Amino acid sequence: MQDILVKDIANHLGTEVRLKGWVRNIRHSGKLLFIIFRDGSAEVQAVAFKPELGEEIFEGAKRLTLESSLIITGIPKEHQKKAGEYELAVTGIQIVQIADEYPISKKEHGPDFLLSNRHLWIRSPKQWAILRIRHTVYFAICEYLNDNNFFRFDSPILTPNACEGTTTLFELEYFDEGMAYLSQSGQLYLETGIMSLGRVYDFGPVFRAERSKTRKHLTEFWMMDAEAAYVEHEENMDIQEGLIRHVIRKVLATCDKELDILERDKELLKAADAPFKRMTHFEAIEYLRSQGSEIDHDSDLGATDEVLLTEGSAVPVFIEKWPKNIKAFYMRRAPEDENLVLGSDLIAPEGFGEIIGGSERETDYEALLARMKEEKMDLDAYQWFLDLRKYGSVPHSGFGIGLERLVTWMSGTHHIRETIPFPRMIYRIYP
RNA sequence: UCCGGAAUAGCUCAGCGGUAGAGCGGGUGGCUGUUAACCACUAGGUCGGGGGUUCGAAUCCCUCUUCCGGAGCCA
């Protein structure tokens, strides 16, 4: 007998097969018993009829509890009540383990309880769907970059110094070398990679010790940083746009069922796959002020500003050319105004907020040095970074995507904590 | 860190000064097509901790703890 996955059940109608998985739900009414069976790939209703199955197997099956593990044999056939779906006529059941009373019931639960039971919660249909979309988004990003001549270049997670600022780092003792820090971005290391490989990206966990407490923040999240030699500001945004649109198309093409489970509005995703809007920070502030905001031209955008800027827009919006004093030291000054830098933030529609931060980088040694002095950075610690501007400096640009932010948008999830298997937040380190 | 809110059965919640409740989940029984199945019975509580007011506190007051939502910071 052939072992198959539930997702392939339509290819085996009428022939006995074997499936290995778990009980999602079980119902019985005298001589008839229904098991909602899942195996990771999909779910199917298995139907057991006592007169056909025999007393012993049937009574054994009635002992099954929620999330019990079992190996089931049966004959796939069309669902008697739902057109276009399939069910399994059970011929045999091998119980692997009878599960204890399962903590996650079929009714509603609060977030604290679910997060404390995250190791079990991930089995629930919506979490299953989100994790599969995460997988799809992750590989879609890599696929686009690989197809556009980027090479994977993993930056270190343990670092001797801050990338930007020093207030947001987790620190630890590093043997006899003093303090080391968990990386909050691989970007500076990535800039070294382009001089070797031309275009590079990293993808891994980064850490921010900020005491953030919102639905958009995690203390540990996965970031993809990309960096490309001889790419300037405009092309940098073109690459970002191409990448995001590739991800949208990939998710729509391969995660149809997952999006249905999550009740995600697919039309909104389809509409976002069109040319992105671009506006300067100056234009954004002017617009916000015209809408009644009292924000001034030297300010960063707040959460409500981001929502306002994308309201009514089907596509993401780039905000570019920022005042230099509210952006990072390494961004290149705009040629037309030395108080502006060639940075861009990409804001997702539907209120999902910033998903990418990017910029063209400063290439001039003296200009970079001056900015680092202004920021009172430890120049000795960054000599390697300054060296890049001495040995074959070229125009270059890069950007960073927060994987979970992108998954939150794609899946239409309310809170970012559901888009990573084990979220790390200010008040949450278990499980 | 700041501003709000919450804590009552395993879970989700109601009760808001006068004998501790419901639904789900658990247990027992019933049912040949169930869809968060249904029906009957049943077990299950230091009302977050401490202090106070009161004849009487889950309920009012103070305090602590924990968590949730939002802001700032950012992806």
Going through A284-335 in order, the beta strands assigned E by DSSP cover 317-323, 333-334
Which nucleotides of chain B have an atom under 7 angstroms from any protein CB? Answer: 1-2, 10-13, 23-27, 30-38, 66-75
**Band of residue A205 on the pLDDT scale cut at 50, 70, 90:** very high
- Is residue A98 scored above 90 in pLDDT? no
Name the closest nucleotide to A426, judged by C1' and CA. B67
Name the closest nucleotide to A328, judged by C1' and CA. B74
Residue with minimal CA–C1' distance to B75 is A402
Name the closest nucleotide to A304, judged by C1' and CA. B71
Using a 10 angstrom Cβ sphere, with 0-12 exposed, 13-18 middle and 19 or more buried, the burial of residue A23 is buried
Which CA distances in Å does A131 have to A250, A259, A408, A418? 15, 12, 11, 9
The architecture that CATH gives domain A118-419 is: 2-Layer Sandwich (3.30)
DSSP sequence for A242-281? HHHHHHHHHHHHH-HHHHHHTT--HHHHHHHSSPPEEEEH
DSSP H/E element including A405:
helix A403-411
**Band of residue A165 on the pLDDT scale cut at 50, 70, 90:** low
Task: Round to a whole number and report the distance in Å from the CA of A175 to the C1' of B48.
Answer: 42
- Is the CA virtual torsion A349, A273, A410, A242 positive or negative? negative
For the domain A2-97, what is the CATH superfamily, name and number? Nucleic acid-binding proteins (2.40.50.140)
- Is residue A163 scored above 80 in pLDDT? no
Structure tokens that stand for A11 in this block: 């290819």
Q: Domain ranges in chain A?
A: 2-97, 118-419
Minimal CA–CA distance to A201: which of A161, A162, A228? A228
Name the closest nucleotide to A106, judged by C1' and CA. B36
Q: Are A191 and A386 in contact (CB under 8 A)?
A: no
Residue type, A355: I
Task: Round to a whole number and report the distance in Å from the CA of A303 to the C1' of B72.
Answer: 10
| Alpha-carbon span A329 to A1, nearest angstrom | 64
| Alpha-carbon span A350 to A119, nearest angstrom | 30
Task: Round to a whole number and report the distance in Å from the CA of A60 to the C1' of B61.
Answer: 58
| Alpha-carbon span A130 to A412, nearest angstrom | 9
CB atoms within 10 A of CB A405: 22
Please tell me which residue, A180 or A404, carries the higher pLDDT value.
Answer: A404
Does the predicted model carry a pTM greater than 0.80?
A: yes
In the predicted model, what is the mean pLDDT of chain A?
A: 91
pLDDT at A167: 56
Task: Round to a whole number and report the distance in Å from the CA of A110 to the C1' of B5.
Answer: 15
Cis peptide before A431 (omega within 30 of 0): yes
pLDDT at A431: 84
Tens digit of pLDDT for each residue in A340-385? Answer: 999 999 999 998 999 999 999 999 999 999 988 888 888 888 899 9
- Looking at mean pLDDT, say which of A201-210, A223-232, A324-333 comes out highest: A223-232
* Beta pairing class for A199-207 and A151-152: parallel
Minimal CA–CA distance to A319: which of A353, A274, A290, A268? A353
Task: Round to a whole number and report the distance in Å from the CA of A213 to the C1' of B52.
Answer: 34
Q: Give the mean pLDDT of A391-418.
A: 94
Residue with tokens 């800039």: A191
Structure tokens that stand for A311 in this block: 């309201």
**Band of residue A318 on the pLDDT scale cut at 50, 70, 90:** very high
Backbone angles phi, psi at A304, to 5 degrees: -70, -30
Task: Round to a whole number and report the distance in Å from the CA of A251 to the C1' of B21.
Answer: 47
pLDDT at A341: 94
Structure tokens that stand for A223 in this block: 């970031």
Q: Number of C-alpha atoms within 13 angstroms, CB side, residue A344?
A: 28
